[in-house]
Structure 1
């Protein structure tokens, strides 16, 4: 925009003022003459100013362009998560002595067997180190004191509950202090049966919790592998066979008590079932795998035990036929308890483990039905059997009593350990992917072809009701070729799931094993946001380092 000289503006407005008050023709003519002269002067000044402005602007733009041409472009800097150094022997000794001042001496251990038990797992192929110290606190307050000492000496902090991890969640690549909840923090803190919720410590096993709740006619619906504890289930946002009906851990946690990286204690929210008060910090910590803070208490929602429950099995000519049942079930609105898919190899393994079960060695779906009455369950069985028949299903066998129910579900129950009979003395690499249910038949068909071309036996089992399934890759860890093939098959499966708009982990978490796939699945901007949150809450990077987030 052109800028007019203020003096010229005042002079021009002055001539208009004079016109209003000079009454004689002579005066008006004089004023008109003066006005024409001033207008000419004003126009000339304006043109000069405009030309000068244009020249200056052009020159400035040229200079800026020259600077841009000679100055390297600044690239976007991605957030860098701090990685703590491996502590010295002197630092460990000082921390050990201070820990024994806030905890009973027997609750602070540097016993080699204890360190190994809390750093390595036979279930995982991501064992990258053991902690330097293991502590066994009894309360949230003691955890806070432990974290303060760790923060003082810049020691990593690794929470530990059930130890059933598959992705290296509690491995300690930088050493540090492992906070174990298995010995003393495995209790029920408060039970509110009228509100159908319960407050527990992280070390309690889900099976023990459900045994405690059964006499009240209630249960906690998440059912991962045996031995899993609530703390680890929160950390990985687990689920299990019941997920198709009840969802995942995120839907069943009301609030959390958390010790922050600097040792502060916070509660993420109050106890009602819903709240609009601020950010949802509860869900922020669920699935964070101990990288943002240490969870010390969990308030869980509970469900009513179904009055009626039964199971059924049905075999299919191909695995694609079996998988195609799932999208139809979802669209039919059937409130089924579980839908589990076992392929032909898995069914063979089950028959090897228990020949009395007498299953067909074909791809098989295992169904769990539950409801408030027998009428409801019978109706769902009828709907599901018709859908199975539409997809070439064989005999639809369902249990008519508790004994038959136990026998039919036994095959699904023993699947994991039965798979090792296909390759004795082999290790099992348990994979875990999930896709939208409409993509499931394609994912399973492509994966089956890949597995058939491999020299390793790879039985398959899945919680296919929500698009989640696992391949058990059987290989010998000390055989380089077999280990390389297992890694190849796992990588192919993960990238295939991402390509089909899925995730590299449905329920096992990220840990060390899958963090390198996060950019591919979520995109760099999303991962950068996660890193920004991590840095803001844990500026020293002490909380379970080198887990979840890709390396810098």
Structure 2
């Protein structure tokens, strides 16, 4: 297609003129050192390292604009980088180019407690924001677990353990400041609670994974810290019994804040890694928010539902320290799983299906993975119909990688056949590009048109989200 992104090849390598421009602009915040390039060419999954030609550390939106404008002038790719916690090859420099690291943009510009919102730079993490909010009675709820930056979380439309009650980044980002492919800086909306004015550019950029624009600042929704918080751990005789309980919780309208499923292999890994002594059986981690009376009522109802599905026990953790230990163990699952095979890498994948389809999807998936030649763990934000597999593979074994790819392929096709999605929260990156046509069909053409309009040179994180037209 003449004039398309595919017909305009990107520049290979880093031109001397561009390198000099970036060095003049950033000083020692511009580097071509191999260790930093390699660090910026990988995330936290099995994907091989693909280092950029250089790394730029930006401190302001104006610097991001200048870097992008300079790269556009030479048709050199720009790959945004936040916390480096992505799981689907989002930060790999597939075509070389410049990695634009926003992790030093950590200013919390404003907290407006009366309006329940805050404006922060893209490098601020959820933990940093919540520490800053400590004395306000407010918190930011989207919790993917790792030390992810809010800019990266917006770019990947992240969610996590609280999403069943508080929603995902899509629901908690009010507006954005973003740098477009030509260096133009835009703000995507106001702080009003609702608007009917024009296209919703905020929702367009949230989840675009740095392929349409680079988020440098965002205004996010805040929520009141609940009066009472209680957590529970409940083991079951089977994964099916645990999932049946979750489906009933959702269908009964219980406003549960968190409900996480860990299979026995994962529980065993958590016990070894975090020093816990949980029963090595399919287990739900749950949390309840509200008034003291409300949380007690929620827990009583959920306890009755669990008992009806053969629960092996229903233990509560009402004090803050016990809850913190419980959720720290849950958040350390990725590292606990990695420790099951120290020389392996975790091929982490996720899908999401309608809640009523979750029991069948999980049952078919577990039957499919039962004969795998390597350990596989199952973890789920099951209140959303979202679950993850951790395939612990030897990255040097072509046979294991091929087996993992086949299992992942069948998992995704199974979820899409149930009117689900190939990823509930990890994003597409380069790892799941091949499934986009299957899930979206003719809508891919519309997405290409948007990409072409906003990034005609194709310099923004190329090779991610949309399959190459040549494919």
TM-score, reference length from structure 2: 0.95
Task: Say if 1:483 and 1:271 are closer, same or farther in 2 by CA, change over 3 A.
Answer: same
The question of whether the paired residues in 1 share the 8 Å contact of 2:236 and 2:281 is answered with yes
Task: Say if 1:182 and 1:83 are closer, same or farther in 2 by CA, change over 3 A.
Answer: farther
Q: Distance in 1 between matches of 2:366 and 2:239?
A: 8
The question of whether the paired residues in 2 share the 8 Å contact of 1:461 and 1:469 is answered with yes
Aligned with residue 97 of structure 1, among 20, 23, 27: 20
The question of whether the paired residues in 2 share the 8 Å contact of 1:427 and 1:477 is answered with yes
Aligned with residue 142 of structure 1, among 44, 54, 63: 63
* Cα drift, residue 81 of structure 1: 3.6
Show CA shifts across 1:474-519 (max 9, x none). 1211122222222221111111111111111111110000011011
Q: Secondary structure at the match of 1:498?
A: helix
Show CA shifts across 1:291-341 (max 9, x none). 011111101111111121111111111111111112211121111110000
Give the structure 2 partner of residue 290 of structure 1. Answer: 210
* Cα drift, residue 128 of structure 1: 5.9
- Structure exhibiting the larger radius of gyration computed from Cα positions: 1
Give the structure 2 partner of residue 187 of structure 1. Answer: 107
Task: Say if 1:80 and 1:516 are closer, same or farther in 2 by CA, change over 3 A.
Answer: farther
Aligned with residue 539 of structure 1, among 456, 460, 467: 456
Segments of 4+ moved more than 6 angstroms: none
Give the structure 1 partner of residue 137 of structure 2. Answer: 217
Q: Distance in 2 between matches of 1:88 and 1:365?
A: 49
* Cα drift, residue 422 of structure 1: 3.5
The question of whether the paired residues in 2 share the 8 Å contact of 1:337 and 1:370 is answered with yes
Please tell me whether residue 469 in structure 1 is matched to residue 387 in structure 2.
yes
Please tell me whether residue 171 in structure 1 is matched to residue 92 in structure 2.
yes
The question of whether the paired residues in 2 share the 8 Å contact of 1:81 and 1:541 is answered with yes
Show CA shifts across 1:255-311 (max 9, x none). 111111111111111111211111100000000011011111101111111121111
Aligned with residue 367 of structure 1, among 278, 286, 307: 286
Q: Secondary structure at the match of 1:287?
A: coil
* Cα drift, residue 425 of structure 1: 2.6
Give the structure 1 partner of residue 187 of structure 2. Answer: 267
The question of whether the paired residues in 2 share the 8 Å contact of 1:109 and 1:134 is answered with yes
Q: Secondary structure at the match of 2:115?
A: coil
Of structures 1 and 2, the one scoring higher in RCO (CA 8 A, sep 6+) is 2
Give the structure 1 partner of residue 413 of structure 2. Answer: 495
Q: Secondary structure at the match of 1:170?
A: coil
Task: Say if 1:467 and 1:104 are closer, same or farther in 2 by CA, change over 3 A.
Answer: same
Give the structure 2 partner of residue 114 of structure 1. Answer: 36
Give the structure 2 partner of residue 395 of structure 1. Answer: 313
The question of whether the paired residues in 2 share the 8 Å contact of 1:83 and 1:546 is answered with no
Structure whose residues are more often strand by fraction: 2
Gaps of 5+ in 1: 1-76
Aligned with residue 385 of structure 1, among 297, 303, 309: 303
Q: Distance in 2 between matches of 1:395 and 1:432?
A: 28
TM-score, reference length from structure 1: 0.82
The question of whether the paired residues in 2 share the 8 Å contact of 1:218 and 1:303 is answered with yes
Q: Distance in 2 between matches of 1:315 and 1:508?
A: 27
Q: Distance in 2 between matches of 1:417 and 1:209?
A: 24
> Residues 319-398 of structure 1 correspond to what in structure 2 (within 5 A)?
319-354=239-274, 357-371=276-290, 373-398=291-316
What CA RMSD, in Å, does the superposition of the two structures yield over aligned residues? Answer: 1.9
Q: Distance in 1 between matches of 2:66 and 2:327?
A: 46
Give the structure 2 partner of residue 312 of structure 1. Answer: 232
Q: Distance in 1 between matches of 2:342 and 2:40?
A: 27
* Cα drift, residue 146 of structure 1: 1.4
Greater CA deviation, 472-481 or 380-389? Answer: 472-481
Task: Say if 1:351 and 1:93 are closer, same or farther in 2 by CA, change over 3 A.
Answer: same
Task: Say if 1:422 and 1:178 are closer, same or farther in 2 by CA, change over 3 A.
Answer: closer
Give the structure 1 partner of residue 170 of structure 2. Answer: 250
> Residues 402-421 of structure 1 correspond to what in structure 2 (within 5 A)?
402-409=320-327, 411-421=329-339
Task: Say if 1:133 and 1:455 are closer, same or farther in 2 by CA, change over 3 A.
Answer: closer
Q: Distance in 1 between matches of 2:40 and 2:265?
A: 34
Aligned with residue 87 of structure 1, among 11, 21, 29: 11
* Cα drift, residue 442 of structure 1: 0.5
Aligned with residue 280 of structure 1, among 192, 200, 216: 200
Structure whose residues are more often helix by fraction: 1
Q: Secondary structure at the match of 2:268?
A: helix
* Cα drift, residue 537 of structure 1: 0.9
Greater CA deviation, 229-238 or 187-196? Answer: 187-196
Gaps of 5+ in 2: none
Q: Distance in 2 between matches of 1:126 and 1:423?
A: 17
